[in-house]
């Protein structure tokens, strides 16, 4: 005997109705069958659910799943025999269906080959979905995440389908189960630029030594020639932790560079009396 879990899905439900279950739709089974039949069936059921015809139970508020065993076994092509089911009974309520649009949030971890990184923002489409269900369930959902994605040794752009993590949402339906996500990857190089140092208004009349600093950054090869000095602004400002020196701070920087450093981080200054 083997144990497995699956979800219950109802069909033939009226278009304007939503079914709310007091328990999770995940059902546990103890089944009997050959090892090969179990493995094959398990693989086939990874993304499926066991289905119940709503028309057969619409006049009741409780479902006795023991009466559906033969139907469940037929959905497994008769290869498995159900010995036990838990819970054996589930309660439900039918109410007016509500629809809501929520954003999709991808969950991912990226590890790159040396000198490679994202060259642009991660994009995914669709970036939102319509979900439907009972009002009590719908209003609690602010967004839907994808199942975690882990990509290692990235050195080229990757596009893939990301599966939405919908299992935790009881009584919620959607026609969209995946989103197409793109990770733009490109080789990076180091850039260095000399930038003049500015001062805030309250520091007018000051001269810094030196009058320029170096900005060191990483940039995608395709953007290397797009970086110009006018897109940077470095400010010298007072710091209570420093004596006779000003701290340099980036006031503006291009959006398509990474790991920006200022050299030096602090400068000396001289006040000119007028």
What sign does the CA torsion over 29, 32, 33, 34 have?
A: positive
CATH number at residue 153: 2.170.120.40
Are residue 83 and residue 7 in the same domain, yes or no?
yes
Are residue 90 and residue 113 in the same domain, yes or no?
no
Q: Which H or E run includes 75?
A: helix 69-75
Are residue 78 and residue 162 in the same domain, yes or no?
no
Are residue 222 and residue 256 in the same domain, yes or no?
yes
| Domain endpoint, select from 148, 183, 218 | 183
Are residue 165 and residue 103 in the same domain, yes or no?
yes
Are residue 122 and residue 134 in the same domain, yes or no?
yes
The number of domains in the chain is 3
Residue 43: the pLDDT is: 47
Helix (H, G, I), strand (E, B) or coil at 42: helix
CATH number at residue 216: 2.170.120.30
Are residue 246 and residue 177 in the same domain, yes or no?
no
* Chain length of the chain: 274
| Measured distance CA(126)–CA(178) in Å, rounded | 8
pLDDT in tens, 156-209: 999 999 999 987 776 788 889 999 999 999 999 999 999 999 876 655 677 889
| Measured distance CA(121)–CA(105) in Å, rounded | 14
Are residue 48 and residue 83 in the same domain, yes or no?
yes
Domain that holds residue 207: 189-271
User: Is-above-0.85 flag for pTM?
Assistant: no
Are residue 6 and residue 91 in the same domain, yes or no?
yes
Helix (H, G, I), strand (E, B) or coil at 227: coil
Q: Which H or E run includes 40?
A: helix 35-44
Please say if the pLDDT value at position 52 is more than 60. Answer: yes
| Domain endpoint, select from 134, 165, 183 | 183
Are residue 179 and residue 193 in the same domain, yes or no?
no
Are residue 165 and residue 207 in the same domain, yes or no?
no
Place of tokens 């790991």: 259
Are residue 195 and residue 174 in the same domain, yes or no?
no
- CB under 8 A, 24+ apart: contacts of 10-13: 10/51, 10/52, 10/53, 10/54, 11/51, 11/52, 11/53, 11/54, 12/53, 12/54, 12/55, 13/54, 13/94
| Measured distance CA(35)–CA(135) in Å, rounded | 43
Please say if the pLDDT value at position 53 is more than 50. Answer: yes
Q: What is the CA radius of gyration of the chain?
A: 30
| Domain endpoint, select from 95, 127, 155 | 95
pLDDT in tens, 87-112: 777 777 777 778 899 999 999 999 99
CATH number at residue 32: 2.170.120
What sign does the CA torsion over 219, 220, 221, 226 have?
A: negative
């Amino acid at each position: 005997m083997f144990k497995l879990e699956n979800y219950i899905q109802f069909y033939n439900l009226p278009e304007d109705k939503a079914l709310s279950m007091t328990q999770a739709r995940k059902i546990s089974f103890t089944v009997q069958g050959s090892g090969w039949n179990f493995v094959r069936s398990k693989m086939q059921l990874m993304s499926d659910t066991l289905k119940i015809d709503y028309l057969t139970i619409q006049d009741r508020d409780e479902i006795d799943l023991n009466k559906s065993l033969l139907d469940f076994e037929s959905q497994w092509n008769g290869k498995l025999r159900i010995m036990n089911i838990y819970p054996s009974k589930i309660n439900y309520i039918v109410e007016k269906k509500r629809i809501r649009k929520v954003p999709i949030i991808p969950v991912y971890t990226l590890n790159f080959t040396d000198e490679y990184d994202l060259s642009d923002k991660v994009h995914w489409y669709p970036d939102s979905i319509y979900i439907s269900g009972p009002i009590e369930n719908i209003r609690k959902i602010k967004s839907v995440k994808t199942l975690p994605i882990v990509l290692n040794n990235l050195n080229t752009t990757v596009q893939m389908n990301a599966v939405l993590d919908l299992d935790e949402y009881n009584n919620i339906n959607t026609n969209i189960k995946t989103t197409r996500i793109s990770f733009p990857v490109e080789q990076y190089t180091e850039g260095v630029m000399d930038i003049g140092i500015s001062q805030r208004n309250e520091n007018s009349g000051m001269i810094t030594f030196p009058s320029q600093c170096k900005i060191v950054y990483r940039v995608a090869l395709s953007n290397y020639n797009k970086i110009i000095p006018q897109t940077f602004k470095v400010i010298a400002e007072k710091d209570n932790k420093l004596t006779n020196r000003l701290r340099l701070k980036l006031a503006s920087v291009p959006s398509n560079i990474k790991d920006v450093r200022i050299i030096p981080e602090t400068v000396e200054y001289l006040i000119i009396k007028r």
